[in-house]
Chain A
Amino acid sequence: MTGLPETTEKSLGLVIDLDTCVGCQACVTSCKEWNTGGHMAPLTDYNPYEDGADGVWFNRVHTFEEEPASGCGEGRTVHFPRSCLHCAEPACVTVCPTGASYKRASDGIVLVDEDKCIGCKLCSWACPYGAREMDMDVGVMKKCTLCIDRIYNDNLPERDRVPACVAACPVGARHYGDLGDPQSAVSQLVAERGGVDLMPELGYRPVNKYLPPRERDKAAPPIAAPALEPVAPEGGFLGWLDRVLSR
């Protein structure tokens, strides 16, 4: 059913820290690796080893240059991972003519039932964020599942029950949790760091939040190591060797 749930018990989602993301693409590749064998499998690639290489990915990292209004010399490079935001008002769900797209009332995750999808592409037109990619081989739409086959997977150790992208991030720039619970660690992180919605003016009310880069220190970092001491003249065998060799 493409009607939206009025409320969801949980609002599971991601918090992505644009301050610490280094653009290493580890989340991109681990997402592809997990999901090409997961719930939405396969994530088809077309011409992978030739010109015109293309394929289905759920997570893509862009790079931007941010130049604050304050002026020159303050610009910085920001890596920006982009994936489904599991919106509270997902137009991708309501436009679906078949009921293949749905938002779960239990945890707020937006999913596609591949067996019902007719591949009309309308949901991808309705998503302002480009979260959905059509699988041209299978003829159906595919999207991020927030790794439902990991987060509820009893066969995995508990610490691994997080989305593949979160598990892979080497700098801890990706956080996973219940954004509907104000007491959760992710909600508190968003409150503390001033996390924002993407394109809030469109009214999709994304669940995922992005933490803007922190203000940078203007001064150079202090040097923690002491200056080097001159080497004391050594006695004994090593001192004799040094004197011989220094001649």
Chain B
Amino acid sequence: MHPAFSVIFFTTATGAGYGLLALTGVFFALGTVPQGRLFGFLALGLALVLITGGLLSSALHLGRPERAPRAFTQWRTSWLSREAVASVATYVPAAVFGIGWVVFASRHGIVASAGLLSALGALITLLTTGMIYASLKPIPEWSSPYTLPGYILFALMTGAVILNALLLLTGAEANPVRFLAPLLILAGWAFKTASWRHNDALKMPADAASATGLSGSVRSVEWPHTQANYLMKEMGYRVARKHAAKLRLFVHLAAFALPFALTLLAALSGGAFALVAACLAALIQAPGILTERWLFFAEARHTVMLYYGR
């Protein structure tokens, strides 16, 4: 599948934003993150920027962005429509949470409940995003059981790494994600490794014979056109195996190994060293998770290419 940057940025940025919002909401309610306005402003502000930036980027991917509001209508059948509804609905508790915390510095139960509701909205939105991809049967790499948990896990992982860095940046006394961040990275690493192993053994859900109604061995000998068309550009994108191997290595390092080592070091040490390590982990993980998502698209195969013998 064609790795469009708008969609790669959308899924990674909103993922990190919703992960950050969900964790901040839960830990605020538990009272384990600083309750001061500055921290609220930084954590919720960054989550808002990531989520809104991602949503705007996804709108740019549309052929007719001015009609985007229509996407809220078909939530009965469409996961994309459900995602649109859930993402906008999450702004409501998030706004109450943010205004209550940052503007009024309130520790009222309503603010804490709004934090928990924001976390719930964030998780539901992540679920709908994952389901858009997981429900596409022509693409075996996406309809795999790894897709949905992956979207949620990587969102919480990147959100925790950012939250960890923010907590150290503001000099917070308590840090509820000190060990949670490296733990989530380790879980994400194991999950991604397993999902790549699963995908490498995947067969297409159909073959050229069933795609054409013919029998025996069926080989494409001629295409209907001599130059690439929409189908080949959109569904026929292929990444060379040797490049994929190098990019996977980069993901292993940048998305998982280095952030894991750095967040673990930050958790075990203190002072300026911990601060630098935690910030470095977040900065290194960003290109890592973007590459992970690029591969999620570039390595996905679509059944229509059976008609082109590819």
Contacts and interface: CB of A to CB of B under 8 A. Distances in A.
Interface of A: 1-3, 18, 25, 28, 51-57, 60-70, 77-78, 80, 82, 91, 93-100, 116-122, 124-130, 133-136, 138-141, 196-203, 210, 212-213
> Which 5 residue pairs across A and B have the least CB separation, nearest first?
A119-B63, A139-B63, A130-B304, A63-B222, A60-B224
19 contacts: A18-B214, A28-B224, A57-B225, A60-B224, A65-B221, A95-B132, A97-B78, A116-B67, A117-B64, A119-B63, A120-B63, A122-B80, A125-B138, A129-B304, A133-B231, A134-B63, A139-B64, A196-B213, A202-B137
Contacts of A199: 205-206, 210-211, 303
Contact of A82 (B70, B136, B307): B307
Contact of B228 (A54, A66, A136, A210): A54
Contacts of B190: none
B213 A210 contact: yes
Given A64-B219, A97-B70, A212 B214 contact: yes
A125 B136 contact: yes
A55 B231 CA distance: 11
B63 A140 contact: yes
Contact of B217 (A54, A67, A117): A67
Given A65-B219, A118-B64, A199-B206, A128 B303 contact: yes
A95 B304 contact: no
A236 B253 CA distance: 102
A2 B74 contact: yes
B213 A127 contact: no
B73 A99 contact: yes
B68 A118 contact: yes
A126 B206 contact: no
Contacts of B227: 51-54
Contact of A78 (B61, B78, B137, B212): B212
A128 B206 contact: yes
B287 to A, nearest CB: 26
Interface string B197-218: 0000000011010111111111
Interface in B29-86: 61-65, 67-68, 70-74, 76-81, 84
A124 B231 CA distance: 8
A60 B225 contact: yes
B136 A126 contact: yes
Contacts of A127: 138, 304
Highest count of chain B CB atoms <10 Å: which of A53, A62, A130, A136: A130
A124 B206 CA distance: 17
B156 interface: no
Contacts of A210: 212-213
Given A125-B136, A128-B304, A119 B210 contact: no
Nearest to A93: B77
B77 A3 contact: yes
Contact of A66 (B67, B77, B218): B218
B1 interface: yes
A118 B63 contact: yes
A96 B74 contact: yes
Contacts of A200: 210
A229 B131 CA distance: 78
Given A94-B77, A202-B137, A212-B214, A125 B1 contact: yes
Contacts of A61: 224
Contact of A98 (B70, B206, B220, B228): B70
Nearest to B209: A66
Contact of B235 (A2, A25, A125, A196): A125
B135 interface: yes
Contacts of B74: 1-2, 96-99
B61 A120 contact: yes
Contacts of A69: 215-217
Given A139-B64, A201-B205, A2 B78 contact: yes
Nearest to B63: A119
A167 B131 CA distance: 42
A28 B206 CA distance: 25
A229 B223 CA distance: 49
Contacts of B170: none
Nearest to A204: B137
A54 B71 contact: no
B269 interface: no
A212 B70 contact: no
A2 B222 CA distance: 36
